[in-house]
Structure 1
Amino acid sequence: MPKAYVFTRNGGPEVEALIEVDRPVPGAGQVLVAVRAAGVNPVDWKLRTGFRRPGDSEREFPAFMGSEVSGVVEEVGEGVQGFTVGDEVFGQPVVGGYSEYALLTTGFTAKKPAALSFTDAATLPVAGATAYDGVRQLDLPAGATVLVTGAGGGVGVAAVQIARTLGLRVVGVASEAKKDLIESLGAVHVPSGEGWTARVPGEVDGVYDLVGGAVLTEAATLLTDRTKLVTAGGSPDAAQELGGGRVARVRTSARLTEVADLVVTGGLDPHVTQTFPLDRAGEALRTVEEGHARGKIVIVPTENAG
């Protein structure tokens, strides 16, 4: 039987487990994918703790972990057009994630370009696309300055690069340990920690927050125009109270293709810094949950990833 990494109830790392599961069966508008790589994101451990996104249905246990995958189509459901068995694809799973098989809806699945590796493709449905959506939402003119908080994580690294590709000056807030990484991306590094706003050089035209909480509140003070505040780390209510907004995700195949094209043309390097086999999924997740990830962490369930 296929294996999957799950959580058996809400809680901490102790509720995670690698178990055998039935192979999923694709329904109408879905494809079954043999997973070659799965991206690891903060939302994965947050969901385990009981966090629920707007519109989430009641969770059933065991619950699959993982929010973005790449792989090869094994089976197609009723009414599926544009995808056939053998296609290399990437997208956001409705079932599966850190697993050997996953179900994806065709509306938020895209074909993987041949020049894009499975590991890089697995970072795009959540991290890469969230970064792209947020930077686009700010709609800043070339030459403007955007400040990115949490710039050293998977979304942050992508956001810095996408902003630079669009001609923006970027200030990246991250720990001192990630200074070299931030500067290698062409951004000005500002050390995080108490009093960080005083260390920001010059004026800021837009903020892309990936941390939330006090950092979001502090970042807002740097802006004259609060409508240029976008967050993927804070709640919609917190963002609205500050005069900004939550990132509006564009969950379409076309958006995934746009982000993939950025990687292929050299405008975005997902910076996959570590890969882990499926039986070490917990270790991969701890790296992200404890804030030690530099760039992107990916789980590789099979030996066929590339």
Structure 2
Amino acid sequence: MHAVRLHAFGPADHLVLDEVEDPLPGPGQVRVAVRAAGVHLLDTALREGLQGPAPALPDLPTVPGREVAGVVDALGEGTPERWLGRRVVAHLGFAPGGYAELAVTGHARLHEIPANLDFAQAVAMIGTGRTAMGIVQFADLGPGSVAVVPAAAGGIGTLLVQYAANAGATVVGLAGGPEKTALVAANGADLAVDYTDPRWPAKVRAHLGGERATVVFDGVGGDVAREAVALLGPGGVHLVFGWSGQGLHDGAPYLVDGVSRQVLGPVMREKAGGADPVRTLELRALAEAAAGRLVPAVRRFPLAEAAAAHRALENRGTTGKVVLEP
């Protein structure tokens, strides 16, 4: 099979398409003929050999990627026969192997893809979608709410805009440039503002006409977060789930005592509850997409262009979820 491998930590050009042996599923596993593989900002940090909030660095050479969708084409010992031939999506956890034509994972990680979703959309919901579902647990959204979404044209931001709009909130989406702000407006934001314009906070205040924000969904940090938090009214909350605007490894996100709450990782899982809280969030995300309430945005690249996908993601040259297609 073909797979994108990283032989040495460094820039995106270190990702190369190699011919490697087909993987075989072990006991309780399936092999998936991959039709779409998710690309995450965390993948770029691991590629560079940076750790910070990332999991342990992989042994090299490695096949990056932790989110796949495709068709089950082989079963390991003890795996239920019903999975053979099914359209499935799975998050591989911290095990790499997604940027490939074939990937292996445990059958307990699988979800059957709803009929109205394609493979790339399913990949978007299994990772980005589950994170969005984890974030909105902490927001009391409804009529009278005012939600500010920095990076509103990104994978998570797109879903947060849609979710808040569906809940009846007034939604202010921030994005960089006219093309992205047009997408944010099309996703249901009441106001889409270009955050590269230094006057953007004044434009938001004028639009709100004296209303104050009740929640800021912040995966950006830095100056944009600082200005967004200043829009909050009494009792407002700043939900922090990343700090891409500062770089994943360039210090802590922008936080304000009494206003900011970090909701990554264990906090999301604790809130979701249940025997398997991660799977609970995955099921919620897929159900929202299956019902048509959330429509993930996807930017597709051929598998062989994984390096270009990484560069585009790092340079903020993408909208929605970045996906590789073999």
- On whether the aligned pair clears a TM of 0.5, the verdict is yes
Q: Is the 8 A contact 2:42 2:54 kept in 1?
A: no
**1:235-264 per-position Cα deviation (integer Å, ceiling 9, x unaligned):** 795466653113344563343232222222
- Asked if residue 277 in structure 1 is aligned to residue 302 in structure 2, the reply is yes
Stretch of structure 1 that moved more, 44-53 or 249-258: 249-258
Superposed displacement of residue 170, structure 1 = 1.2
Secondary structure of the corresponding residue to residue 69 of structure 2: strand
- CA distance in structure 2 between the aligned counterparts of 1:171 and 1:3, rounded to whole angstroms: 43
Change beyond 3 A, Cα 1:224–1:244: farther
Change beyond 3 A, Cα 1:36–1:147: same
Partner of 2:192: 189
- CA distance in structure 2 between the aligned counterparts of 1:266 and 1:33, rounded to whole angstroms: 26
- CA distance in structure 1 between the aligned counterparts of 2:283 and 2:238, rounded to whole angstroms: 26
- Asked if residue 206 in structure 1 is aligned to residue 205 in structure 2, the reply is no
Change beyond 3 A, Cα 1:85–1:136: same
Q: Is the 8 A contact 1:95 1:104 kept in 2?
A: no
Superposed displacement of residue 36, structure 1 = 0.8
Secondary structure of the corresponding residue to residue 263 of structure 1: helix
**1:143-191 per-position Cα deviation (integer Å, ceiling 9, x unaligned):** 3111111111122112211222222221111113212111111101122
Q: Is the 8 A contact 2:49 2:57 kept in 1?
A: no
Secondary structure of the corresponding residue to residue 137 of structure 1: coil
Output the amino acid matched with 1:119: A
Partner of 1:170: 171
Partner of 1:180: 182
Q: Is the 8 A contact 1:107 1:253 kept in 2?
A: no
- Asked if residue 18 in structure 1 is aligned to residue 36 in structure 2, the reply is no
Partner of 2:324: 299
Q: Is the 8 A contact 1:173 1:192 kept in 2?
A: yes
Superposed displacement of residue 91, structure 1 = 1.6
* Aligned with 1:247 (options 258, 264, 267): 264
Size of the aligned set, in residue pairs, is: 299
Secondary structure of the corresponding residue to residue 89 of structure 1: strand
- CA distance in structure 2 between the aligned counterparts of 1:109 and 1:292, rounded to whole angstroms: 31
- CA distance in structure 2 between the aligned counterparts of 1:70 and 1:53, rounded to whole angstroms: 28
Output the amino acid matched with 2:51: R
Secondary structure of the corresponding residue to residue 84 of structure 2: coil
Change beyond 3 A, Cα 1:240–1:30: farther
Partner of 1:137: 138
Q: Is the 8 A contact 1:90 1:125 kept in 2?
A: yes
Partner of 1:304: none
Q: Is the 8 A contact 1:172 1:189 kept in 2?
A: yes
Secondary structure of the corresponding residue to residue 83 of structure 2: coil
Change beyond 3 A, Cα 1:67–1:239: farther
Change beyond 3 A, Cα 1:58–1:297: closer
Partner of 2:274: none
1:95-134 → structure 2 map (5 Å cutoff): 95-134=96-135
Superposed displacement of residue 96, structure 1 = 1.5
Query: What is the percentage of aligned positions where both structures have the same residue?
Result: 33
Could you list the runs of 5+ residues in structure 1 that have no partner in the other structure? 302-306
- CA distance in structure 1 between the aligned counterparts of 2:57 and 2:194, rounded to whole angstroms: 40
- Asked if residue 230 in structure 1 is aligned to residue 246 in structure 2, the reply is no
Change beyond 3 A, Cα 1:22–1:265: same
Q: Is the 8 A contact 1:95 1:103 kept in 2?
A: no
- CA distance in structure 2 between the aligned counterparts of 1:104 and 1:137, rounded to whole angstroms: 31
Superposed displacement of residue 39, structure 1 = 2.5
**1:29-87 per-position Cα deviation (integer Å, ceiling 9, x unaligned):** 54321101112332222221223365723421122222321111223445545962212
Secondary structure of the corresponding residue to residue 44 of structure 1: helix
Partner of 2:285: 259
Q: Is the 8 A contact 2:13 2:307 kept in 1?
A: no
- CA distance in structure 1 between the aligned counterparts of 2:88 and 2:156, rounded to whole angstroms: 21
TM-score of the two chains, using structure 2 as the length reference: 0.81
Secondary structure of the corresponding residue to residue 64 of structure 1: coil
Change beyond 3 A, Cα 1:14–1:72: same
Output the amino acid matched with 1:190: V
- CA distance in structure 2 between the aligned counterparts of 1:50 and 1:241, rounded to whole angstroms: 31
**1:194-246 per-position Cα deviation (integer Å, ceiling 9, x unaligned):** 45433323311011112123333433333346772222222795466653113
Output the amino acid matched with 1:114: A
Q: Is the 8 A contact 2:46 2:54 kept in 1?
A: no
1:22-41 → structure 2 map (5 Å cutoff): 22-41=21-40
Output the amino acid matched with 2:110: T
